[in-house]
Chains A and B, each alone.
Chain A
């Protein structure tokens, strides 16, 4: 279950993040590409605009000075100007000045007149060219312009008429050659290779969506394509420029596949790792439990012979009252077996505490008595290490406590003094009663404990690894057991602040405050 959670949750999260990332990125890229392509299309639109401007300028020059009714000149113009197909001139009174019946009308001219009859008859042309601010909707330039373009439809679609107002008020209307215009647009559009943007094909479409001109290579197979469109500026507003945009659609089929494959691989790796860790940790847990059980059993087995060793050593000590040397040897045996007993007691207490079975059996007694007994036990070994143990005991009132447990706690503290603070040369046990509590302080003049480690030292197996613990043996469970025992009493063991060395304070509940006064 946990395994599933460990694998599925991160994988799902990754997938979600990936999808979201891809989507965001795709949108951002699409926006950027879209903007780039749109500005490209705007450029092209402007290019078309310039082309028309140039055309208008050229036609203005060519038509300068041609009299409105000079049929021969107009015909010469049409014959020699590839950019225009036909010309008509309408007088301000609406009368047709060219082509006119007087000079004869060719078939092509008649055709042209038929096509633009609407413009001529309802005055649209004259209105468009009128020098008033009205009727300018179709004009390219402002109201003051004396020339411009009109969009006009017949058979093959949109055609452009260029008009010009002559000083006499007549209006010249020249039909731009549509084929030539398209040919010029075909050449004006970039051929694709010289472009290099994120777009592929650029197409000019007419109002029916049919391709007029296209350039650039098509998007490659599998390339995701979005389109950006732009209507050309008037007078060609019926035509649309379209750019095929690539890269905006994000990864194609291949990209998606790669992404999915990456996710699968990540998931597989996670599953593998989880399995390995799980097997490793469960094996370790099993082994650790076995080890604890083993140590526990061994400790139990050790206790019985140890008790006997101590018992018989004490008996022998009493019998050998005269032999001073033998007595001292036996005293060492007694002290060492007592130490071993404490060690085994610690191990067993620790095992119980881990199992949650640690219990104390309080019975009324005087703490100072217990403290004296412990001090007596440790005095010889402390002395042999050059540590003077001072007692300042003032806890005479009885309280309920487990004497064995308190002995174990204080013993563990003194054992630490022995191990780490022997260089200080002095240790002190102080007991006080007051405020509803009995406090026992064990202080030394050793190197002390950094405040940062004040809590950590109570964790099992923690030994401050520096000069202090170097070369000193120990189990690393003494302080942990001590605190557990203190708490089992409803009391506390903590590191008390002190000017030099370490000072541990054991608090036990009682006696009740009222009893004192």
Chain B
């Protein structure tokens, strides 16, 4: 359900983007970084809340794709026995077949301890890679932390920011050996992100800990997916490798320095470091034909009508991948006008930014609903989701947004199933998955 719904919505989203690009060929060379304020014209007098959206997307060089350095980490605990492991092996083998000889791959299996089945090596010897995958056998419990650690260690052997460095983790269980809390796994993800290693987590079935898997993926800027049935593994691996193969820039840092009087409040949906008037957000990677954004809530300095003020300076830097990888950096200033006329303010509202804002706010509320449900406040959770549905629907209509229509549909489905005891486990997992996708604008 989850995968297909989201895929549909993403397909729509991607289609819309592609359509936009096709309609405006001039924009084909559009800048990697786009800046927009939810309200470029702010009501005069008093401080006002404004959202700054920093859109990030780097087009690929024609015919180029960055080499990848990927560690496939597979849970081989007892519960993986049978179809799950067989499908996982199949999926991994198919995914590996998409790699090129100069890509690097390693295969790690863990149960209560870790085995590096294939140390990081070039894919040139495809047979060795496939043999290592084939050698996987199930048994034991789940040393997830150590498994990811070993995966990262293998990636680290060839760590290079000109490669897409990634750990792909497949697990159907809870971590029960070694550090096992979402916080600790999240911290590991955050540390790996500093090195440019993303951890994509694929949760299989109903037994895994979605908080932990989502946190690990979220904090390392990787993907997270729920796979209800083992037969979907091949597709997910395909998506994950496709994602890795479409990376066009890495080591991304965006710093937003607010002008005096303007205060950064928070960044919606992403890890950010806000100190004083400076906001720093790091991303692992940017994609071709897929926009990710940073949405910053600001408290704009009060201004007089007719006045125009600089609100912030945005600086960015990233490593552009291509035939000749090159570091890129730039900066731009964001300014807003002030008006005493509410209509003028409303007329200038930026629908694209507003769609992002609604998407993020709805996602935050979706999180809140999940927390309420965890506390057993089921009715409250449901009414929050219903309100969220209405909120998204309204905005979808107002801004004519397919994305928000999808958000509304998701929340409606969540509201419907959140009261059903027997479906909660699965639904909680899909909610986590969607939250991560929405807040980090994941491709799949």
Are A106 and B149 in contact, with the CB atoms below 8 A? no
Chain A 177-220 interface residues, beta-carbon cutoff 8 Å to B: 177-180, 182-184, 186-187, 191-193, 201, 211-218
Query: Which residues of B lie under 8 Å from residue A193 when comparing CB positions?
Result: 115
Considering only residues 142-183 of chain B, those with a C-beta below 8 Å from chain A are 143, 145-146, 148-150, 152-153, 177-179, 181, 183
Q: A177–B273 contact, CB under 8 A?
A: no
Instruction: Tell whether B308 is near chain A: CB-to-CB under 8 Å.
Output: no
CB-defined contacts of A304 to chain B, threshold 8 Å: none
- Give Cα distance in the complex from A179 to B184, angstroms: 6
A168 within 8 A of B: no
Contacts of B149 in A (CB 8 A): 182-184, 186-187
Write out the residue numbers on chain B whose beta carbons fall within 8 Å of the beta carbon of A81: 194
Docked complex: B208-254 residues within 8 A CB-CB of A: 253
Given contacts A177-B187, A191-B115, contact A182 B276 (CB under 8 A): no
A214–B280 touching, CB < 8 Å: no
Measured between C-beta atoms, what is the minimum distance from A383 to chain B in Å?
A: 105
Q: Let me know if B188 and A183 touch, CB within 8 A.
A: yes
Complex CA–CA separation, A177 to B189 (angstroms): 11
| Neighbouring A residues of B177 by C-beta, 8 Å | 211, 214
Q: Quick check: A104 and B277 within 8 Å, CB to CB?
A: yes
B278 within 8 A of partner (CB): yes
Could you tell me if A187 and B276 are in contact, using CB atoms closer than 8 angstroms? no
Q: Is A105 a contact of B145 with CB atoms below 8 Å?
A: no
Given A104-B278, A156-B181, A191-B115: A186 touches B150 (CB 8 Å cut-off): yes
Bound Cα distance A496, B38 (Å): 139
A178 to B185, CA, bound (A): 11
Closest chain A residue, CB of each to CB of B194: A82
The answer to whether A105 and B275 have CB atoms under 8 Å apart is yes
| Interchain nearest-CB distance for A434 vs B (Å) | 102
A79 within 8 A of partner (CB): yes
Q: Does B282 contact A (CB under 8 A)?
A: yes
- In whole Å, how far is B137's beta carbon from the nearest beta carbon of chain A? 13
A106-B114 contact, Cβ under 8 Å, with A156-B183, A213-B146: no
Q: How far is the CA of A187 from the CA of B149 in the complex (A)?
A: 7
**Residue B49 is within 8 A (CB to CB) of chain A in the complex:** no
Q: Does A109 contact B (CB under 8 A)?
A: yes
B178 touches which of A82, A191, A212 (Cβ 8 Å): A212
**Contact assessment for A217 and B113 in the assembled complex, using a CB-CB cutoff below 8 Å:** yes
Given contacts A75-B280, A80-B194, A82-B191, whether A186 and B273 have CB atoms under 8 Å apart is: no
Give the size range of B's interface with the partner: 35 or more
Are B275 and A103 in contact, with the CB atoms below 8 A?
A: yes
A71 within 8 A of B: yes
Tell me the complex Cα distance, A80–B251, Å: 10
Contact with A along B260-294 (1 / 0, CB 8 A): 00000000000001111110101000000000000
Please indicate the chain B residues that have their CB under 8 angstroms from the CB of A177 in the complex.
187, 191
Interface size class of A (residues with CB under 8 A): 35 or more
The answer to whether the Cβ of B195 comes within 8 Å of any Cβ in the partner chain is yes
Whether the Cβ atoms of A179 and B113 lie closer than 8 Å is no
Q: Is the CB of A192 within 8 A of B184?
A: no
Q: Is the CB of A71 within 8 A of B191?
A: no
Residues in A91-117 with C-beta less than 8 Å from chain B:
99, 103-109
Q: Which of chain B's residues have a CB closer than 8 A to the CB of A218?
A: 112
Task: Check A179–B276 contact: CB distance below 8 A.
Answer: no
Among the interface residues B143, B146, B181, B277, which one has the most CB atoms of the partner chain A within 10 A? B146
Interface pairs (27), CB distance under 8 Å: A79-B273, A81-B194, A82-B194, A83-B191, A104-B277, A156-B183, A156-B184, A179-B184, A179-B187, A179-B190, A179-B191, A182-B149, A182-B179, A183-B191, A184-B149, A186-B114, A186-B150, A187-B153, A191-B114, A191-B116, A212-B178, A213-B146, A214-B113, A214-B143, A214-B177, A215-B114, A217-B113
Chain A interface residues (CB < 8 Å from chain B): 71, 75, 79-83, 85, 99, 103-109, 156, 177-180, 182-184, 186-187, 191-193, 201, 211-218
List 4 extra interface pairs beyond A103-B276, A186-B114, CB under 8 A: A83-B191, A99-B275, A179-B184, A187-B153
